[in-house]
Structure 1
Amino acid sequence: MNRVTDELLRMVSDFTGAFKGAFNIRENGECAGRQSTDNIKIESKPNAPGLVVHIRPGTKGETVYIPACVTQGNINDLVYNDFYVGEGADVTIVAGCGVHTEDEGEATHNGIHRFFLEKNARIVYREKHVGTGGGTGQKRIDPVTEATLAQGASLEMDTVQLGGVDETYRKTWAKLAANARLVVRERIMTDGDEHARTDFEVTLAGEDSGCDLVSRSVARGQSHQEFYSSIKGLTRCAGHSECDAILAENGTVTASPALEASHVDAALIHEAAIGKIAGEQILKLRTLGLTEQEAEEKIIEGFLR
């Protein structure tokens, strides 16, 4: 494992020199370390790059780490990871990704994660993305998440991208059975000429299933962001999506929600708010001794927390 990988791991996956429990470290398309536990088995896919992760029914309180790092240009890393989560399990998955280049070569990671949650299983999924390096090559991360939730299952996704990624296309697809729940908290910051696109597509197929999709973002410089969400309610269910974005300098944001209710008891809501930081917020902080720039940074920090 090289020095850049070590630095990226500390940024995206709470790495402190070693992982406790199950983990797989991916470095430039290769495995740089792996460990399973009695309850969480990590194996290589037989016919494609990636992993098969089996979490035993009833597993509680464990964390599995699957970070991926691209540490040089001219690498386009593609990985397929499948997670099979047994009935009643309750675990955390940390899947950070960092891309780094010091030359004109592009550093790209494409992670396709599929989750299969059995009855009453619960997953907390944390994903942090970052781009680093002084090279001119593009730094790109394109994550795809597909989730199938059985009765009573729960998936909570906390995804963060706060700098350095030139291009990202983030896709999330989910289908929920009865009483299943999906919660997504997405935070994105773009700057310069960076571009970020988010697509959510959720089908609430089972009675009393529900989803809550919230995206908060800041577009600075000349950057552009796109937010698309689609929630389909096929039965009695509750779905909510929300896009809140702050514009700074010449940043731009578009939001395109779609709601499709196919049942009289499907309750679906979308909210969106896009605009600059209110002047009175900055003025209030300036009365406390902050400069205008410091006040803006403090507001953005709180907004993306």
Structure 2
Amino acid sequence: MNKFVKALVSSVVLGGLVFSSGFQAVVAQDKPFAGEQVKVGVVGDSAEETWQHVAEVALEQEGIEIETVLFTDYNTPNTALADGSLDLNSFQHIVFLENWNEENGEDLQSIGFTSVNKLSLFSDKHDSIDDLPDGAQIIIPDDPTNGGRALLALEIAGLIEIDDEAGILPEVRDITDNPKNLEITPVDASQTAISLPDVDGAFINVGFANDAGLNQDDAIFSDTDAPELFNDAYKNIIAVRGEDVDKELYLKIVELYQTPEVAEILIEQSNGGSVPAWDGYEPAES
């Protein structure tokens, strides 16, 4: 090969390298999180389906690989997040998170709202909450936050009275008046729907209600009927470890979640049991 040909080949190769390097720089600038992998813990099939949509969008638009990890209870996802098995989780409201942190000495924190989920009382035996007989057996979730939330809903429905000093986390022992002598039994939240045929009524979280094929329209009472219960404390969140609250990768995922498309999926998959809760969300006009 003569000197002229060598020079020409070198010029083409170097030019290709410059082009390739420049192209990679543009891609890196356009998709700074490309190739990042994130594990998100969720509870319930409907939540997993919602996050699978977010994962598809994240991969297509940002090159982020999201793996959803499905849990069947409310106790494990925070432990998995705290020990590093997960990067994020999405299943709980603020009251639950704060109570879990206090009981476990951890510092998990919220980086964004997802939805407000109903906690509804279902019954296979009665068509109305007014039809509950004396001595009716009622199942509530046994975790302090959702159990307390169910008791507050029963109070607002006029069925019991609770000691005001119990605050937002009352227990069965805090009931001061129970004129119908309701037999209220806390069970693991994952067992509430399973227990429904054997009792007069059960408070069932949206995710477990959906998984059991229950329609929110068939509930005999929902705590969304009690607007005094609802503020930011009962909004569901995306949680991270305390040291990751400002991590741009995770904040980008929050941004990808809080979209009109995800809002539609939340409402549809929950049969109206979940309402998007992030700032700026506006329901579509009917």
Bucket of the pairwise TM-score, normalised by the shorter protein: under 0.3
The structure whose residues are more often strand, as a share, is 1
Normalising by structure 2, we get a TM-score of: 0.21
Q: Which has more helix, going by share of residues?
A: 2
Q: Name which one, 1 or 2, has greater alpha-carbon Rg.
A: 2
Higher relative contact order (CA 8 A, sep 6+): 2
